[in-house]
Chain A
């Protein structure tokens, strides 16, 4: 089947029900999305499907055909950071950093839906993902700062 990831078409030969996460990681070598739970609890695997934050451990490979898949690698790069990534750097959010790819993808999706979210909206949306290090205070600050930057732009 054909998958379009970060703008590039890939031909993959996998079971229809292989989770997109494992197609990305083990078949395509795209390791920004992380495995944490496999049951939609932690959100470390969050990617965008046609721009919408989605837990890639819950998406069958076959259901990603014909959809624009964007991973953290496609959101921005160290040389050209997305506004959310720039805010994550500015606020030094990461500790172990393992959940942050998913947190950033979730925040980017939130801000494209809701450019100036309230504190409660940020908490509601970002509660889909889990951070074991406890970086939540800095996630809140970084989302607000990214929202402000995106508004200016």
Chain B
């Protein structure tokens, strides 16, 4: 097998260490050794190794530290290692490993710095480097921001290549055959006589060899997995009911639990009466915890029933109690005092002749993954074990240790598969509740399961946002665009809960709006920070999820006011070649410009987010019963497609996510409480509403994630299509406040 391309420079070194019965390969962190995640298994003196590949008598384990919440991250990470290690995917086990500061994520931290994804200049690169260092220092083992692929692409392939090269050395040492006469195939070293030595049989010898650092990675033309359709590692389990999720965990002596906390998020529990609940069948105890109670029982349903039987006196909400009061606070934030950022300020919008003024609103939205929050916890002596689905195992470890009065090293987080997340599992509130229950009942494994109602009541939502926009047109062109966006800060709210500082402006308030690749003579985007209200968090595609609608909805208004064509005018305004390519592609796919029958309309929107320019065209028909979604076309420049099936799933899933919420979802508050407590009040898109979706990937050598970028353009493309079909311009989500849908 030829290895053509040598890596010239790396910021990490692959090391190896003996483990019981075998060898592990991984990254040595520099500057300071991070706590060793396989401490129990590694030899003395190897404390800084973070393993990605472990080979022992049991087989080959690829350690995939980024969480899989349905986005296929395990598969992608395993494929990158397997590509260079030369193993079949059915020969390996993927293990999310254990939390370690050494699995830092340098890419997601960069999203916190105000660098446009189009900006590849020196300042931008320096800034990204600084963010990378910050990522290391904070020990961000975090899954999010579509960062898994960019972060892992080189690191995991090199780990696989170093392991393979070292196993070849081991085979040479055992057989005295020179390395250049050996090859590898499907998890074994092949000798000149075509006999083979399994990696598992070479592991012990390999552990005694200095890892081979001079490795060359395969030329892309030789890739066996990357870019090819692969069968997901979990697909059979997920098609047979045998995939174990957090909620399915069963342990000997396990107690089932639920909690009921003040439905005013973060509010106090003044008093409670559990007399009736404690007398109910199967109930062991009712335990007060922060802001509410936990019920321990012998069955989850009995725990749910008993929690409903507890009576409470709740404290007031520590935020404005209803939507009217919240909108008032948002509307009052368009002032110099509240100005958070003005990253885009070109020309002079104050001097432009304003042709269109508009106000836009988007609501709070819940993540509402189908598996409610759940965690199993066992506190036994000086050891705390946590089994749960999470995107932040390292933060969770530290916070749980603090709560239980332990050192982080005494807390063991076992990451399980999650039934969705969409950002919800970037929080550890449910785990800390389970730890409180475990502290009340040490020595007993406790599985906490939230009811759907508890989940919806405490889903830290995406923030509501308001935009005030003014624009100018002249000679058939858009000449001025002034967008002010007011929203509370997700970064401050979310990092605050994780005990981390959030410094400087919050890029999320304007992400997907300030950084769009248009050249407009007078062009300004200002972020206004609304004082904290309801605790809020990251929701699939974060700031861009709402800002795509604000920016692209208003731009569409201006283009129509100018009398221009939405595609032609965007192409005229757009200076960024990759973005122009996706606009042109989606135009071609949708036959943009061809006449449609009466009552039908096409809407176009474009958002550059997470480095991925994405253009979408939605086609709708205005029927007597309401708007019907007929067809969606998506073009995105995604960099390299690692797995075409997963790519297709993520893009279409993002479109459905974006459309469904835009059509009919909102979270509202009354008396401090969420009003939508289940899927009847908070519907998601159903299959009958789902349009045909056609996706085109424009590939480059760049590395991008794809879990989020198709979300932001979906809502504005739909609203713009409704305008095209009906002449009705909708500036508020959800759209079903203004029109009916079939």
Contacts and interface: CB of A to CB of B under 8 A. Distances in A.
Interface of A: 14-15, 18-19, 21-22, 25-27, 29, 31-39, 41-42, 44, 71-73, 76-78, 81, 85, 88-89, 92-101, 104, 122-124, 126-127, 130-140
Contact of B301 (A19, A34, A44, A92): A19
A41 B245 CA distance: 21
Interface in B663-715: 678-680, 684-688, 690, 692-693
B42 interface: no
Contact of A18 (B234, B301, B372, B693): B301
B244 A134 contact: no
A25 B655 CA distance: 33
B240 A85 contact: yes
B256 interface: yes
A18 B243 CA distance: 25
Contacts of B174: none
B72 A134 contact: no
A58 B69 CA distance: 28
B242 interface: yes
Contacts of A123: 687-688
Given A19-B301, A97-B234, A126-B687, A135 B679 contact: no
15 contacts: A15-B281, A22-B299, A22-B301, A26-B300, A27-B299, A32-B241, A42-B370, A76-B240, A78-B236, A93-B239, A97-B237, A101-B241, A131-B684, A134-B655, A136-B685
Interface residues of B, number: 64
Contacts of B687: 122-123, 126-127, 131, 136, 139-140
Contacts of A26: 256, 298-301
Nearest to A74: B241
Interface stretch (B213-221, B561-569, B645-653): B645-653
Given A22-B299, A132-B684, A137-B692, 12 more contacts: A26-B256, A34-B370, A89-B239, A93-B239, A96-B420, A98-B371, A101-B241, A126-B688, A130-B679, A131-B370, A133-B420, A135-B649
Nearest to B681: A41
Contact of A95 (B70, B231, B240, B241): B70
Contacts of A95: 70-72, 649-650, 653
A69 B245 CA distance: 23
Nearest to A33: B241
A94 B237 CA distance: 10
A39 to B, nearest CB: 6
The CB with the most chain A CB atoms within 10 A, among B238, B256, B653, B655, is that of B238
Secondary structure at the A interface, as helix, strand, loop or mixed, is: loop
B653 A81 contact: no
A14 to B, nearest CB: 8
Nearest to A71: B241
A32 B232 contact: no
A40 B158 CA distance: 49
B419 A96 contact: yes
B654 interface: yes
A26 to B, nearest CB: 4
Contacts of A44: 370
Nearest to A142: B239
B235 A89 contact: yes
A134 B37 CA distance: 35
Given A26-B256, A99-B370, A127-B687, A134 B239 contact: no
Nearest to B301: A22
Contacts of B370: 34, 36, 42, 44, 96, 98-99, 130-132
B149 interface: no
B734 interface: no
B426 interface: no
A25 B254 CA distance: 13
B450 to A, nearest CB: 10
A88 to B, nearest CB: 4
Contact of A77 (B240, B243, B419, B686): B240
A22 B235 CA distance: 25
Nearest to B236: A78
Given A22-B300, A73-B241, A94-B235, A134 B680 contact: no
Nearest to B256: A26
A95 to B, nearest CB: 4
Nearest to A143: B687
Nearest to A32: B241
B241 A72 contact: yes
Contacts of A22: 299-301
B150 to A, nearest CB: 20
Q: Nearest 3 pairs between A and B by C-beta?
A: A32-B241, A96-B70, A98-B419
Nearest to A137: B652
B368 interface: yes
Given A92-B645, A93-B239, A94-B234, A134 B685 contact: yes
Contact of A136 (B237, B369, B690): B690
A43 to B, nearest CB: 10
